[in-house]
Amino acid sequence: MINAAAGRAGRNSEEVSLVAVTKYVDAEVNRLLYRAGVRDFGESTVQGADAKRQQLEDLPDARWHFIGHLQRNKVARALQFASTIHSVDSVRLVREIGEQGKKSGWTVPGLYVEVNVGSEARKTGLPPADLRELLEMLRDGEVVSSWEREVLGLMTMAPYSDNPEDARPFFHKLSELRDTFSQEGLLPEGAGLSMGMSGDFPVAIEEGATVVRIGSVLFDGLANN
């Protein structure tokens, strides 16, 4: 399905990375996905991700992505395992990541800035109007040691709908924000877009997603094999 969506958009499917969202399954499912070739796993709690990492220490090239809301008091623990944090959503969180990285000596992971494109009250993420301040802070070196390596791009979750096409305007908006801030030098050249889940990832790919976060579709595939 990734190949088909990329083909419709005239893109190479190798431009799109898969993060398997395994927050609702046990570690043995991660192991099955690993055997099928998956190396990137997404978890939404620090405790859950760290526990699975320890259970799967025999999979040395597995990469753990933090995709949930990250509380500042959990940052130090998250830095011990996360290869990527997809949910940077405030100036205070950015500062905490930087401070804990310096204090502990842990490498700051790749960071996606989460944008609440749909302006949903129940969702985390920066309002688009507040994005510039946070990107300026990252660019100016207050947090990361290598801006071009560690600031990976923008992330969003579209409002839920039974119709995947309803997500298209939100994904398109995030793509526009990425392009605008890249042109202004506030995002690195080639900054990515982490967007699209099981119900709408083909549309996200058509709108430029470079990372899709997929769960239930993968598990259905395992059950049918």
Question: DSSP letter string over 116-152?
Answer: -TT--TTS-SB-GGGHHHHHHHHHTTSS-S-HHHHEE
Considering its fold, how many domains does the chain have in total?
Answer: 1
Name residue 222's amino acid: L
Residues 6 or more apart whose CB falls under 8 angstroms from that of 166 comprise 158, 159
**CA gap 221, 33 in Å, rounded:** 10
- Confidence at residue 104, expressed as pLDDT on a 0 to 100 scale: 84
Mean pLDDT of 111-134: 92
Look up residue 28 and give its two tokens: 């043995």
**Where residue 118 sits, what CATH number does that domain have?**
3.20.20.10
Residue 143: predicted pLDDT: 65
Reported as a single tens digit per residue, the pLDDT across 137-172 is: 888 876 666 666 789 999 999 999 999 999 999 999
Contact 151, 111 (CB under 8 A): yes
Residue 163's SS3 state is coil
Q: Tens digit of pLDDT for each residue in 74-121?
A: 999 999 999 999 999 998 998 899 889 888 888 889 999 999 999 888
Per-residue CA distances from 106 to 56, 71, 145 (Å): 21, 18, 12
Q: How distant is the alpha carbon of residue 3 from its chain centre?
A: 20
Mean pLDDT value of segment 8-15: 89
H-assigned helices in 145-215 = 147-150, 168-183, 201-206
Per-chain mean pLDDT for the chain = 91
pLDDT at 146: 65
Tell whether the model's pLDDT for residue 224 goes beyond 80.
no
Range of the domain at 49: 2-223
